[in-house]
Structure formats: structure tokens, C-alpha cells
Amino acid sequence: MKSINFYKNSFLALILICFAVTSAFAGDPYERVNSKDMKPHFKEAEKLLAKRNALFSLDADIKLGVGISNTNFELNKPDSTGQLNTTQSKVGPSVGATLSLNFFGFGFTTGFAYGNKGFKSENGQNTNLNYFNIPILLYFDFNVGQKVRVEGNLGPYFGLLMSQDANTLYKAKNFDFGLTGELQFAYMFNKYMGVLLGGNYEYGGLNNLSNNELVKKMTTSTIIIYTGLKFEL
């Protein structure tokens, strides 16, 4: 219960930080383009920047969220302890940063993400799998009005096992291959900065994460809800 409260408090703290930072930078620096005091060479720079943004853009996102994860087992033989026969979802933190290259509304996204996966057994004990994921995704976006942007990602990810609980009955492989889909909304305070709210789903273990004789096949399912900051470079 203490760990869940910690994740909730961290999530709320990030939301407050996001709004505090974005409020500080809420003004659009290019509003002065139409000002009488704007020098001619600055106006030309703005025109060039507008042409570049019409062709491509580069976005950096920083995300902090909460993941609800479960692990699915197909056993070779009955589990005498009962810990793997019936499992429940567990809650864990998720932290990541991504970089998206966008051409005419389509492009590619990559980056890194830390994810806490695993399951909760019948006796209430949490079993943790900590992964470092690298996604390679197809990207799309479109605008809703002048301030709101809808963005999506879909594709594979590659995960590296950082650690797992030492008392687990099973052993997970050091490498995870899975699929992920993401949908997020960005409210842009200006041309360079905005706040994020989104979610994604991960299906892991396409390569079968099981690494012992008891478990024939092991996969993971994770739903992540997050907030964060967007920077347009």
C-alpha cells in the first residue's frame, strides 16, 4: 500500500510540475513577429522556420506514469506452491523519454523507457520484473484546433532485463521482444512546449520470456497511463 501511495504522489507531483513549468513559458515568443519593433532579419528567420516546420519537425517527450501489469503463465506441470496458478495485476512506475521525427504528419519514434512489470500472487506478494525498453515505432499526428495535437505510435520494442526478485519461482530471459501501441494528447502552450496526457499498451514476451522447466511459456501485458512534457525542437 505504501508503494502504491508513493507512485500516486509521484504522479500527482509531476502533473503539478508540468503546469508550473508550462505556465512560466506560456507566452509565444513569435508573437512579436507582427510587432512594429520586430527587426526585418528576425521576420525572415520566422519565415524560414515556418517553411521548415511545414516539412518536418523533431519532438522530444519526457513521460512519467503508472503501469498496471500482469504476467501470463503456461505451466509444464502443476505448481505445488500455488503462486503461479492464479495471478493478479500489480501497479508499478513507468519513466521514459522519446524522440519523434515527423514528415508531413508521419514519421518514426524511438527512445527509452523503464518499466516495472510482474504480477501479484494469491498471497498478495508482488513479484517484480524491471525492464529497460527501446521502442522503434511508426508515428502519426494531427491537430485539433491550434493548441491540441493528437499523436500515436505503433510498433515493436526491445527490452533488457535490469533486475528481478531473487525469490521468484521462475526465471525470466534477459531479453524481451514485444509490441506496443500508444495514443497521447498534447496541449501546446507555444511553438516549443506543451503538456502531455496519454496511455499505451504493451504486450511482451513474443520471444517467450520463460527461462526454467516449470513454466512452458510466459508473456506480459501492461497498460500505462502517463503525463509529461513535450518540447518541439
Q: In the chain, what are the domains?
A: 2-232 (2.40.160.20)
Residue 27 one-letter amino acid:
G
Looking at residue 3, its pLDDT comes to 47
pTM for the model? 0.74
Q: Which of 26, 22, 30 is nearest to 49 (CA)?
A: 30
Looking at residue 37, its pLDDT comes to 53
Q: Which of 36, 220, 13 is nearest to 127 (CA)?
A: 220
Task: With H, G, I as helix, E, B as strand and everything else as coil, classify residue 30.
Answer: helix
- How would you write the pLDDT of the chain (233 residues) with one tens digit per residue? 444 454 445 555 555 554 444 444 444 444 444 445 555 555 555 554 454 455 678 899 999 999 999 888 888 777 666 667 677 899 999 999 999 998 877 899 999 999 888 888 777 778 888 999 999 999 998 889 889 999 999 999 999 999 988 655 668 889 999 999 999 999 999 988 999 999 999 999 999 998 877 888 899 999 999 999 999 88
Looking at residue 233, its pLDDT comes to 80
Alpha carbon 54 to chain centroid distance?
26
Looking at residue 120, its pLDDT comes to 83
Distance in angstroms (rounded) separating the CA atoms of residues 109 and 153: 7
Distance in angstroms (rounded) separating the CA atoms of residues 90 and 214: 22
Looking at residue 65, its pLDDT comes to 96
Distance in angstroms (rounded) separating the CA atoms of residues 232 and 229: 10
Q: What is the DSSP letter of 164?
A: E
Looking at residue 216, its pLDDT comes to 86
Looking at residue 54, its pLDDT comes to 55
